[in-house]
Structure formats: C-alpha cells, structure tokens
Amino acid sequence: MNILQKAVTTSVKTIPRNGFMRHSSHFVYQPDAKPPVEGPTQKMNMFQAINQAMDIALEQNESALVFGEDVAFGGVFRCSMGLQKKYGKQRVFNTPLCEQGIAGFAIGVANTGAKAIAEMQFADYIFPAFDQIVNEAAKYRYRSGNLYDCGSLTFRAPCGAVGHGACYHSQSPEAYFAHTPGLKVVVPRGPNKAKGLLLACVNDNDPCIVFEPKTLYRAAVEEVPVAAFESPIGKADVLRVGTDVTLVGWGTQVHVLQEVANMAKKQLDVSCEVIDLVSILPWDKETICNSVKKTGRVLIAHEAPLTNGFGAELAATIQEECFLHLESPVLRVTGWDTPFPHVFEPFYIPDKHRCLAGIRKLIDF
C-alpha cells in the first residue's frame, strides 16, 4: 500500500449499508453554555441562525437586499432558503457569476443608504472582488471626506476546511483583509455568534466581512434567541478560564482548542485559558494581553498558512506588550505554507494532536 492509498484509507470509514463515508470532522463541536440574551429560544444549526438573521434584517429594513450567486433558491448552503418567496424577487435575487460585479453593485447599493447583504459563494472566490472591497468599499468614507460611505454593506463568505474542499473550497483568507483600514472582519464559532455578528454587521457604519466556517453550518447546533440581538464587533470571548497557557483561535479552531484544553488538563495537568478572538478587525488586544500576562504562555492556532497568517499579528503584539511576562516564546500552530490539499487535508489542519504537542513545547521550554 503506497502513501496515497494510506491517506485515503485514513480519511474514510466503512459504513456497512452505505458504502464509504468521508470522515472529515477534526473537531468536536462545543455549544455555548447559555444564550447571549434572555427570552424565548429555538434550537438551530448555524445556517438556520444566519437565515433568521437575514430574515430579521429584511423585515426591519425595507431597503435591505440579499443577493449573490444562487441565493434565490437558498444558496449552496441553504442560508437564504425561503427569503425570496417571503420578500420577493426585487429584494432577494441571483447575480451573474462575477464576484467583482457583486461587490461593485453592493458598494453602489450601500452608498445610496440601503442595507446590502452580498454573498460570495465561497471565500475562495472573493479574490476577483478584492480591488472593489479593499480599494473602493474600505476607502469610500476616507476619500470622500466623509461625504459618502459604504456603511450598511456586509459580505458573507463561507470559509475554511470542510473535509473535501481542496484548494478552491477550503481557504481562510481573513489575513488578506485584516491589512485594510476601513473594513471590519469577523468569524463566528456557532449559531449564536453567527446571528449576532451578522446583525451587528448589517447595522454597522463600516463595510464588514463575515467569514463563516462552512463545516459548522450543520455541525453547530445551539439554542438561539428568536428575537433580534447583536454581538459586539471587536470583543473576544473567554470561553474557559485557566492559569498556565492561553489558547487563542477563531471559527472552527475554537472547538479544537476547547478539546485540547481538556486533553492538556487530563494528560499534562496543565490549566488552559481558551479565547475565541471572534473579531479579526478590529481585534481585542486588551483581552488577549491580559490573559497572556496572567498565564505567561500562549498558543495561537488557525487554519490559514503560517507565514503572514493573522496569528503573526497577534504574536507581534503579544511580544511588544507582554514580553516581560512571557515564560516561553509565542507559539503558532497553523496550516502549512502550501496550497490547501485534498486527500492530505488531515495532515494539513492544526488538529488537537498538533496543538497538544504545542502545549507540551510551551511547558517544557
């Protein structure tokens, strides 16, 4: 058996009645302990929570529009399902297969004061729209002397590993946009955050990008408040309090780190503090630095490649702000500096075993 056959064998498991099923989950989903606000809740997965958020936005704002490739019938991930039927073809509609055109139209719509919710079918497809987002949307307010702006503009983009996406359906491009003043960039970890962040972005005065980890659309299930609510942009969440090591991630990686924290306590007797960064731009320096000053050690994990990933910005800031408190160098556990692979995905992602090895390295330094 050659190495390719071994890789394929390790990524599938036999199901007697159904043949073969891709074994893609590298994490155990950890739902939030309680809803973010009081009131009636409903059990939802993440795509249902996103659907409800867009429903609320369309209902509350007569100018709100939802558009993108295939959104009229619900989109490839069903996030906009039923919205065209409820609000009509003038407010929920398909666009041509042209990301640059989608972004340009969204900027124009938002500039008139309408609420524009534009879907990029995959985050990997957002690059043709890069110029429109970075050079037009992000700079509109600045270059017009605050006469015009693209507030109320929100881009949604499914991102991250999914088990079979390969190089064109698995990327995590948040770092590209984090280098752009004028944008806001967030990544939800589950249904409650997805709903709250999307509504916050829709009502924000700056253009926003919501990168939605696609593997969580159905895997993430929580009790979600039925009413409208917003999650703050720029505020990290401390999900687990610890004393020895700070673990920082966002999106799907948060659930990997929560499992790793349990493993570290059981196997190494190490107490880990787990933080969901939530917001990439702006990011919560105070929460991160306060945690690192307390623990003295920090591991940052993300699916994007190591070089110039957003973890590098965190590491630089921690070194500047927390240097005299550090017991070991800042450690990053990330994707490799290669295109995202297909059958080798299990070896690419920063799974719990690589993260636990990183904690050992920090403790043994």
pLDDT at 114: 95
Q: Which of 189, 219, 208 is nearest to 77 (CA)?
A: 219
Residues 61 and 162 in one domain: yes
Tokens representing residue 77 in the block: 């991930």
pLDDT at 22: 40
190, 225, 260 - which closes a domain? 225
Among candidate residues 69, 99, 136, 303, the one labeled active-site is 99
Q: Does 28 reside within a domain? A: no
CATH of the domain at 178: 3.40.50.970
Residues 217 and 292 in one domain: no
pLDDT at 2: 39
Is there a catalytic annotation at residue 99?
A: yes
CATH of the domain at 306: 3.40.50.920
Residues 244 and 360 in one domain: yes
Tokens representing residue 34 in the block: 């309680």
pLDDT at 164: 86
Q: Does 95 reside within a domain? A: yes
pLDDT at 231: 98
Is there a catalytic annotation at residue 136?
A: no
Phi, psi of 127 (to 5 degrees): -65, -35
Q: How far is CA 284 from the centre of its chain?
A: 15
Whether residue 52 is predicted with pLDDT greater than 90 in this model: the reply is yes
Q: Does 181 reside within a domain? A: yes
21 exposed, middle or buried (CB, 10 Å; 0-12, 13-18, 19+)?
Answer: exposed
Among candidate residues 169, 174, 230, 273, the one labeled active-site is 169
Q: Does 230 reside within a domain? A: no
Q: Does 54 reside within a domain? A: yes
Q: How many distinct structural domains can be found in the chain?
A: 2
Task: Note the pTM of the prediction, 2 decimals.
Answer: 0.92
- Domain of residue 296: give its range: 237-364
pLDDT in tens, 234-287: 999 999 999 999 999 999 999 999 999 999 999 999 999 999 999 999 999 999
Name the average pLDDT for the chain: 93
Q: Are strands 208-213 and 184-186 parallel, antiparallel or unpaired?
A: parallel
Mean pLDDT, residues 334-356 taken together:
96
**For a pLDDT cut of 90, what percent of the chain falls above it?**
90
Q: Confirm if 15 and 163 have CB atoms less than 8 A apart.
A: no
Q: Does 14 reside within a domain? A: no
Mean pLDDT, residues 55-71 taken together:
97
